[in-house]
Amino acid sequence: MTGQFKVGVDDDTGADLGFVLSCLALGMISMEELHQWVHHVIEQTPAAEVPPHLVALLSLQRPTSVLMPAENVMPRVPHDPFITDDRFDAMLGLQFFLRKDKTQAVDITQAEAEAALRRNPEVADRFFDLFPFLMEKAA
């Protein structure tokens, strides 16, 4: 845990980071927005508590670089237990809403993803709690 954010890499200590990286993998956020989020976390965290792997993410430029564990950045990609199967589908629904394009998922339709988002509004709440600077983009 770092400040108010969970950005570790062990077990559930990285739940927020795990959610953010899932958002990146699904195309809900861009690399630029990932970097904005890292700066947002660093600004709200005492300097002594900012983990090196968080700062290291700022040097990466491609999502594939972020999502592949590497000793010099993160030895493992953290998991977020919040993301259940139905919430994952809801994340796809939010991706459709935010990006107005198709995800890389092939086993769910836009209508199914949007229905999952309606059933799981906590997904949008979690997203905008972590990315308050993206509220204007969604409006």
pLDDT tens digits, 67-120: 888 888 888 889 899 999 999 999 999 988 888 766 555 578 889 999 999 999
Residue 136 CA: distances (Å) to CA of 4, 26, 66, 117, 133: 23, 20, 26, 20, 7
Range in 11-20, 36-45, 80-89, 96-105 with the lowest mean pLDDT: 96-105
Please name the residues in contact with 49: beta carbons below 8 A apart, sequence gap of 6 or more: 2, 3
Are 11 and 104 within 8 A, CB to CB? no
Q: Residue 4: which pLDDT band, with cuts at 50, 70 and 90?
A: confident
In a domain, 122, yes or no: yes
Mean pLDDT of the chain: 89
Are 16 and 23 within 8 A, CB to CB? no
The reply to whether 50 and 78 lie within a common domain is yes
In a domain, 51, yes or no: yes
What's the one-letter identity of residue 3?
G
Q: Which of 67, 82, 97 is the last residue of a domain?
A: 82
The reply to whether 46 and 20 lie within a common domain is yes
Cβ-defined contacts of 33-40 (< 8 Å, 24+): 33/131, 33/134, 34/66, 36/133, 37/130, 37/131, 40/132, 40/133
Domain that includes residue 104, residue range: 84-130
Which uninterrupted H or E stretch holds 19?
Answer: helix 15-25
pTM above 0.75, yes or no: yes
